[in-house]
Amino acid sequence: MFHNHDSILVQEYASLGAPYLAEVPATPLRTEPALLHLNTQLAADIGLNADELASKPGIDVLGGNAPWPGYASRASVYCGHQFGVFVPQLGDGRALLLAEVRKGKQYRQLQLKGAGPTPYSRHADGRAVLRSSIREYLASEAMHALGIPTTRALSLTASADPVFRETTETAAVVCRVSESFLRFGHAEFFCYTNQLEALRNLLTWHIEQHHPEIDLGNTDASFHQGLLQWLGTVIERTAQMVAQWQAVGFCHGVMNTDNMSLLGLTIDYGPYGFVDGFDIDHICNHSDHQGRYSYRNQPRIAHWNLYALAQAISPLLPDSKETLQNLLDNFADIFQTRHSALFANKLGLPSEQGEAANTLIENTLKFMHEHTLDFTRFFRSLSALNPTASVAGNFAAWQQSPFFPLALGDEAQVNNAQTWIEQWLALAGQTPVEPGVWRTRLDRSNPAFVLRNHLLQNSIEQAQKGDFAEVNRLYKALSDPYTAEKLAPEYTSEPPDWAKTLVLSCSS
């Protein structure tokens, strides 16, 4: 039914069945679900018919009031380390695998989030509120548009059903899309319940499905080899993803091992945040009292999580302790290389400047931190500079940028800015670039717009009153974050003072 002629419904993951997946029907909402948003482009990309999805039968399926024709929905079991503490059983507490869609070589899973309880709900209600669903829907598409690996969002449906959190809110369901929703915690679960055969079979399926470049062969030795190669890939992708987070000032907020994708995708958007005024120790999740998941700590925690994954698969890899350690040791280099390359681009530095570039990147972040400069506006304003002009010329040109991030009345800030320009010129000035080329290049490396919390908050408050215009407007803006001319001024300006007191917790 909902498929275009170029896609088919498949049961590739579903056919694994127990002990990985339990059949669980969605729990219908009592009040009729309404479709608030449909990602028609994504629908077409994966071979689904947007018109049919937007019709009454489609909305029923996307809102969890009817099954996908020909497919029984399922929940998967996993566990994980939450804030460093091992939690022996978690799972899809409010997520349901809705369908699997194949379009030629392209394979995608559809998952409903908030469609009712499952055997893994642990006394919670299996629901998601409108507020957190809007946050997940918009953030996954924003990250995608920024070129950061992420799960995607296909639809947002909502109903008037009450959901109880700190206050009474209403229910919503996001249909999200990914090649896989497997997490580090899936491997941990089958390791720590001592189901090693099941662990091996799950990883074999996963690697064959998602990594055709890895040959597991049919001997134990070839399996070990393939598994190690796969772990290397997970380490690489995770390091790259976190480097990309750092480069746009994205803080995930809950980097528990059950929120880490085996494919290196950003997954489970909760109390995330894009930093406004830069504080290297920024903590976006109010429930994270120790700052375990602060901006500064994200790379270290990703590394820690990879240790947990390596630990979980180690029973399948006898005598590989040293090899595992060596693989894990690569994390720092992979992360650093990508981090340097991304920030060098953001600063418009010619490639291959090694240590000098790293020092400048570090000093730039220090300068931004010291004066709490707006992360997005600082980098975006750099296209106004000119690597062939003088310090004074640059300081004057910088002030002409609509993104100029400094407070001119602050003497220390202005002095430090001049020192910073000097350091920057010493590197950026080495290969002169034509001004037009420079501006385009820099503006392509530095988004003018990120999904700031106060903008989200505005859109949520209006949506809670039944007006979705602002959600739609944000959605449009985030699809093209690099073209400043198309953006409303309030999307690119500094956040208002009240944004500083916005508090986000795990409640969702």
Which of residues 82 and 472 has its CB atom nearest to Mg ion in the complex? 82
Instruction: Please say if 258 is a catalytic residue.
Output: yes
Q: How far is the CB of 258 from Mg ion (least distance, A)?
A: 5
Q: Give the nearest distance from C-beta 254 to ligand AMP in angstroms.
A: 5
Give least dist CB 314 to ligand AMP, A.
Answer: 24
276 touches which of ligand AMP, Mg ion, none (CB within 5 to 8 A by kind)? Answer: none
Which of 257, 320 has the CB closer to Mg ion?
A: 257
- Residue 125 beta carbon to ligand AMP: minimum distance, rounded to whole angstroms: 5
Could you say which of ligand AMP, Mg ion, none residue 127 binds, taking C-beta under 5 to 8 angstroms by partner kind? ligand AMP
Q: In the beta sheet, which residues pair with residue 10?
A: 100
Q: Quick check: 268 binds Mg ion (CB under 5 A)?
A: yes
- The two structure tokens encoding residue 266: 């950003």
Alpha-carbon distance 471 to 137, whole Å? 10
SS3 content of the chain, % helix, strand, coil (to 5): 45, 15, 35
Residue 259 within binding range of Mg ion, rule CB under 5 A: yes
Active-site residue, selected from the candidate residues 92, 258, 268, 374: 258
User: Are the C-beta atoms of 441 and 7 separated by less than 8 Å?
Assistant: no
With beta carbons less than 8 A apart as the criterion, state whether 111 and 96 touch.
yes
**Residues forming the site for ligand AMP (CB under 6 A):** 90-94, 120-121, 124-127, 254, 259, 268, 270, 506
Task: Give the CB-nearest residue to ligand AMP.
Answer: 93
Residue 94 near residue 24 (C-beta atoms within 8 A)? no
Distance in angstroms (rounded) separating the CA atoms of residues 6 and 46: 9
Residue closer to ligand AMP (CB basis): 90 or 478: 90
Nearer to Mg ion by Cβ, of 94 and 282: the residue is: 94
Least Å distance, CB 47 to ligand AMP, is: 28
Q: Return the one option of Mg ion, ligand AMP, none that residue 438 interacts with (CB less than 5 to 8 A, by type).
A: none
Out of Mg ion, ligand AMP, none, what residue 92 binds, judged by CB under 5 to 8 A for its kind, is ligand AMP
- Calpha distance 22→77 (Å, rounded): 8
In whole angstroms, give the CA distance from residue 113 to residue 128. Answer: 7
- Contact between 508 and Mg ion by CB under 5 A: the answer reads no
| Structural tokens at position 325 | 């350690």
- Contact yes or no for 339/321 (Cβ under 8 A): no
Measured CA distances, 437 to 141, 171, 386 (Å): 28, 48, 11
Q: Which residue has the tokens 């809110």?
A: 169
Comparing CB distances to Mg ion, the nearer of 259 and 445 is: 259
- Catalytic residue positions, numbered: 258
Residues found near Mg ion in the complex (CB under 5 A) = 259, 268
